[in-house]
Amino acid sequence: MLDEIGVRWVLLGHSECREIFGETVELVTQKVDTALENKLLPILCVGETLTEMEGKKTESVLKKQLASFKKDSGIVVAYEPVWAIGTGKTATTAQIIEVHTYIKSIVGKDTPVLYGGSVNDKNATEILTAKGVDGVLVGGASLDPDKFTAIINA
């Protein structure tokens, strides 16, 4: 049905779906596999909560969320630290580089990895120029045409 209306990309594993609908790693993996089987391009959202980040569990959380994906399997990964979504908090450039490097060590250096945690018109350039960042996944800022245009121009 999605193919019939021209959909090519699907966003899977977003933190709100994991939290509100109880999506497990296993269910998200099944959805990604189904998307790939049906020639849809999945953008897999991964990320840790504030408690997990403060407890130095970022890598173990991401490893679990990415464990079932082969290197260069055709997915795009969007690192969205849950603690940064909609909070106005953004990971530091050093944190973003460290996490993106870790993600690419699991899914392959050629797998695109996006950053998506409170991306806005003021921080987009800094994020987009960080090593290992292949793009951004924009949330609330996409609702403001002027801010979104500034992000696109970045």
Provide, rounded to the nearest whole percent, the portion of the chain with pLDDT above 70.
Answer: 100
pTM: 0.92
Q: What tens digit of pLDDT does each residue of 62-86 get?
A: 999 999 887 878 899 999 999 987 7
* CATH fold of 3-153: TIM Barrel (3.20.20)
DSSP code of residue 69: P
Token pair of 128, please? Answer: 């987009």
Q: What tens digit of pLDDT does each residue of 42-64 get?
A: 999 999 998 999 999 999 999 99
Q: Active site residue: 14, 23, 48, 52, which one?
A: 14
Answer whether residue 1 shows pLDDT above 90: no
100 is catalytic: no
52 is catalytic: no
Which residue intervals of 5-135 are DSSP H helices?
A: 15-20, 25-37, 50-54, 58-66, 93-107, 124-128
Answer whether residue 94 shows pLDDT above 80: yes
Q: Active site residue: 23, 80, 98, 100, which one?
A: 80
